[in-house]
Amino acid sequence: MGPIRGSKKKRKIDVENGLVPEDASLDWWKDFSKKIAGSVSPSRGLEEFESVFKVSRKTFNYICSIVSEPMMAKSANFVFLNGKSMSLNDQVALALRRLSSGDSLIGVANFFGTNHSTVSQVTWRFVEAIEERGIHHLQWPSTEEEIAHIKSKFENIRGLPNCCGAIDTTHIMMLLSATDRSLDVWLDSNDNHSMILQVIVDPDMRFRDIVTGWPGKMDDAAVLQKSTFFELSEKGERLNGKKLKLSEGTELQEYIVGDSGFPLLPWLITPFQGRELPETKTEFNKRHYATRLVAQRALARLKDVWRMIHGVMWRPDKTKLPRVILACCILHNIIIDMEDDVLDELTLTVKHDSAYRPETCDMADKSASVSRDKLALYLSGRLHA
């Protein structure tokens, strides 16, 4: 799967090219808020909305606009317990609450005044719709200008030149039925049943490529090698843009950075391993860590905001879960692309898999090892172009 753009530059996104009306759901929220929590005072209305749905009203309206057609095209008529039909806004609100709160189906049903089967059906319809109509928010950069902007922002972090992304993985933990015959396949190194999510992230914590659905028993290197990104990169069809001249006869191709759980490849640079490293390599590792930290932070925020995939999921449908994870990743990107400041106050951590031990992969391409050595010298000022 692949990933889109968005920077801190002010820009507007909408259904076609226009602007999503800021007050499109004003009347809906006024009535809805009374139903779920009594009358919300005007001074607290916006704050209450954002705390319930984890997005601003502008972003909520945009999400409604892109899922409207597929969600309303089907004939099912979802209703509240009082028999009133659910509007599009009601359905989107319900799905966002289910994905972001981490509450059970019954908990969300009680919050909205409906039944748990309606919560399940509406949420799945929303997942299908956001995947169908929102996937353009999760794409690999398609223009030289866009990739140049990404490389510039990565270099501004700690000086790594020609870097196009940071890769990391996380575990979505599951509580499976004792009768599930595939239990052992999903058992990971921490004795948890889990599904792996691998992401490649840009400097703004936007997901540019994701892979999910593989069982927790697999290590990071194995998941990478099963990915389309690996196949394209090995064929020279990705990370094949402008090379950087480090010195006479030495060029550095485009690459991504990852931790020591990944193999060292011409297009994937990992840190130096071992203790008592020379100063140039120690300094390189510091720069490398600071650069790839963006991926850890992105995964931490993903789980902090979309709490349905945080913690341990109770007997999830393993065939549907990858699409739920994808939907959460798309929503993560939409918030960034909409320049939504709702999450600015969220304390950023890097603890998305804090209980898991770091993995180590000994696979190393010889030419990549030489390139990494020369890059370390270049960054120390000991190798001149």
Mean pLDDT by 10 residues, the chain (385 residues): 38 39 64 64 62 90 96 83 93 96 94 95 97 98 96 97 97 93 91 96 98 96 98 97 87 96 98 95 97 96 94 92 98 96 71 83 95 94 68
Identify the CA nearest to 267 among candidates 282, 281, 256, 252: 256
pLDDT at position 352, please? 82
- Are residues 305 and 249 part of one domain? yes
Q: Are 284 and 375 in contact (CB under 8 A)?
A: yes
- Are residues 183 and 94 part of one domain? no
Q: How many domains, the chain?
A: 2
- What is each CA distance from 87 to 3, 24, 70, 122, 246, in whole angstroms? 30, 13, 14, 11, 59
* DSSP, res 343: G
Residue type, 42: P
Q: Are 272 and 286 in contact (CB under 8 A)?
A: no
Give pairs for 311-320: CB < 8 Å, separation 24+: 311/102, 311/173, 312/173, 312/174, 312/175, 312/192, 313/172, 313/173, 313/174, 313/175, 314/104, 314/175, 315/174, 315/175, 315/176, 315/177, 316/174, 318/174, 318/182, 318/186, 318/195, 320/124, 320/127
271 three-state secondary structure = coil
- Are residues 298 and 172 part of one domain? yes
The answer to the question of residue 321 being in a domain is: yes
Q: How many CB atoms lie within 10 A of CB 44?
A: 11
Distance CA 33, CA 19 (A): 25
The answer to the question of residue 286 being in a domain is: yes
Domain that holds residue 35: 26-136
pLDDT at position 6, please? 37
pLDDT at position 33, please? 79
pLDDT at position 176, please? 94
| Residue labelled with tokens 């090698």 | 225
The answer to the question of residue 66 being in a domain is: yes
Q: pTM above 0.85?
A: yes
- Are residues 100 and 155 part of one domain? no
- Are residues 207 and 342 part of one domain? yes
- Are residues 304 and 192 part of one domain? yes
Residues in the chain: 385
pLDDT at position 247, please? 80
pLDDT at position 296, please? 94
